[in-house]
Amino acid sequence: MTFDTEPTLPVPTDFTAAENRPGKIVALHLNYPSRIAQRGRSPQHPGYFIKAGTSIANTGSTVERPLGTELLAFEGEIALIVGETCRRVTPEEGWSKISGITAANDWGLYDLRHADKGSNVKNKSGDGYTPLGPAVIPAEGLDPTALRVRTWVNGNLVQDDTTEGLVFPFGQLVADLSALMTLEAGDIILTGTPAGSSVAVPGDVVEVEVDAPTAAGAPTTGRLVSKVVESEFPISPFGAQAKVDDNQRAEAWGSREAAGLAPLRSAITDELRAKVQETAVATLWAQMHKRGITNCSIDGVTNNHPGTRILGYAKTLRYVPNREDLFKKFGGGYNAQKRAMDSVQDGDVVVMEARGEKGTGTLGDVLALRAQLLGAVGVVTDGGVRDSAAVAELGLPVYSSSNHPAVLGRRHVPWEIDGTIACGGTTVQPGDIIVGDDDGVIVIPPALFEEVVNDAYEQERQDGWVFDQVKDGNAVDGLFPPNAEWKARYEEWKSNQ
């Protein structure tokens, strides 16, 4: 893409004026590949939410962060302006129903993202949370795949992307929405934000510009300017209150690193990995028990490669009981099972919830191979495995409840990936640490992993010393577990090593 250096100067539009204010604002969740990669979610279809008309503002406006909140995030976007009332148009016709485009900033308060069951009403519809402008670029003659959106924070460029590779082209969005609702002249469609969306704090100045750099005259909207200010008012006590966690912080800032958080996959260090290799799963379970967590084992599964171990991060997949109409809709094609295997990362253990159902397979050789090639270090399923001999030949450790020749449709519908599941009687969340040996498999929360492993390693070392004392003929009374005298002898032995 080559850019013209003499853009057409914009003429500002007052979007708060009655004649320009949209009847409705429909916003798209994910569209830019850069943002989708950042989020780690791959939408199959467009997903939307509605923003209030009172959230509209013009360039130069302020956006308030309620007192006591922390995660007010900007999203530079291209806004489509519907030019004529339309219903049930085709994707090929969709772009022709757009009269112009402008810049938008889809502000959101992640502190309230938990409210309203995903409708985004409270976190996205605050007054001033949808500034538009300053100018409208006429759509006629524009190539909708050759537009650009950029965002600056305090003069620093933080978002810079084009519409060349959008997952959901603009014509498709118009067609999809008009299939359900009448789109009226003046309605606004926000088309998603690229990577780089992040948190702004009071005092920050955020600018968004949309242009068509390869079009004649390189038309531009000019910069849409918003200044963040701290409100004197906290969130009212009449409804949902501010609530944030590290996951929301990571999503608001754009990454855990940007939010100042440790990477999720940093728990398994080389030192801890080496200690786990010398520590029995039974000893790790004992340390979990000491911390009051006894329901951490995945019960009823056995290893197809006795003598091998697994250590990795949980990648979750859930099956629901087969229902023929649901299997017809969700069981075939690029279903959740295939998406799970295609999205495996290096160091993952794929953990499957199959409700302990042994009457069908949940994994075969092709998908096991796919997971292995992407870096999976093991698979755990409380269901069955088909093609068991071929799976075993891969050398990938697989813990399962049985072998069975049948395919999914006999008992299961592949339903969900990357959710909290139940496997073998215990709860498993994405990113939990999975450890397995011939005794079985346990689940360790990442936040506890370091202390559990270190204490288990020390316990293992002490148990080995106790074993040697028994081997030398000493009685177990007072030795196992060691009393004060034997503990003193152990500490003396350890100091001499």
Would you list which residues are annotated within the binding site?
364-367, 386-387
Burial track 274-313 (b if 16+ CB lie within 10 A, e otherwise): ebbeebbbebbbbbbeeeebeebbbebbebbbeeebbbbb
AA identity, residue 176: D
> What tokens does 400 get?
């399962």
User: How close are the terminal C-alpha atoms of the chain, in Å?
Assistant: 67
> What tokens does 410 get?
């006999």
> What tokens does 456 get?
């288990």
Which residue, chain included where needed, has tokens 């130069």? 60
3-state secondary structure of 178: helix
* Count of positions (residues) in the chain: 497
- The binding site for substrate comprises 364-367, 386
- What is the Cα–Cα distance from 119 to 116, expressed in whole angstroms? 6
Q: Could you say which DSSP state residue 346 is in?
A: T
Angle CA 243–248–249, to nearest 5? 105
Instruction: Transcribe 401-416 into DSSP letters.
Output: SEE----GGGTEEEEE
- The binding site for Mg(2+) comprises 387
Q: Which of 130, 271, 250 shows the shortest CA–CA distance to 197?
A: 250
- What is the Cα–Cα distance from 235 to 247, expressed in whole angstroms? 21
- Going by their DSSP bridges, the two strands 25-28 and 156-162 should be labelled as unpaired
Sheet strand arrangement including 61-67:
61-67, 224-234, 205-211, 148-153, 156-162
